[in-house]
Structure 1
Amino acid sequence: MTIWKHVIADTYFDDGSPPALRQRDAGEVRIDEREIVVSYEDDDGVVIYRGNNDGSGHFSLEAPERNGRASLHRFIPNGNFLEGYWIEGGNRGMWRIELGQPDLG
């Protein structure tokens, strides 16, 4: 399993708020041959999105506790960026996650 801690996320909201919210140390991404897990903390606590990894670089994720679903795409194999959309409760938008260097220890 590869783990990236302190990823950087650009989150876009489709609600008329400012066009981008840049979050440093926004969370953690874990990817192995079976699964992807994206976790972060917001004002209401920890959020965990999980999805299957079929090896294609395209992920469909869910966060049942938040009524959330999302997609992420890694267009370059082993690339540093994941991009996609999210819907959580009544909110929706897009996100881009910069992985950086994996945590090796």
Structure 2
Amino acid sequence: MNEGETPGIRHCKVDLFFRCPFCRLEHDMPVWNNCTMSSYYDDGLIEEQCVVKIEGSSIIIEYMNGKNRYSFVGVEQTDGHYKLTAQTHKGRATLHRFPNDQFLEGWWHEDGRVGMWRIQLDD
């Protein structure tokens, strides 16, 4: 084990936007690199590409908005139900997923705005 590594966690050099928010190390997590994130606002819909990482009870959603990188990180509350917190700005969200489904759906609250979102998982 290298200095700074956590026992029992396999580490790798996966190209991640951010280090793990829990232990600050890079992990080998299942990754969907080409997801479509549909964000529903009170005045319309925006579709963006995002990256989704889910391992055990942890979930990470990463996306670019212009030149800025954004990240939501969360923990599974019950099977397929996640509560997330923004790591790069003020925000919180939920996501829900049925077993083996290719969609995550939920609500978000960011910088005083609220809406719904749906993410289609795709490699």
* Structure-1-length-normalised TM-score: 0.82
SS in 2 for 1:53: strand
Task: Note the 1:1-105 alignment, pairs <5 A.
Answer: 1-14=29-42, 17-18=43-44, 20-23=45-48, 26-43=49-66, 45-54=68-77, 56-74=79-97, 76-101=98-123
| Poorly superposed stretches of 4+, deviation over 3 Å | none
State the percentage of identical aligned residues.
Answer: 36
Q: Which runs of 5+ in 2 are unaligned?
A: 1-28
Q: Compute the RMSD of aligned alpha carbons.
A: 1.6
CA contact (8 A) 1:32 1:53 kept: no
Q: Which runs of 5+ in 1 are unaligned?
A: none
SS in 2 for 1:65: coil
Structure with larger Rg: 2
CA contact (8 A) 1:85 1:95 kept: yes
Question: Displacement of 1:90 after TM fit?
Answer: 1.2
Higher strand share: 1
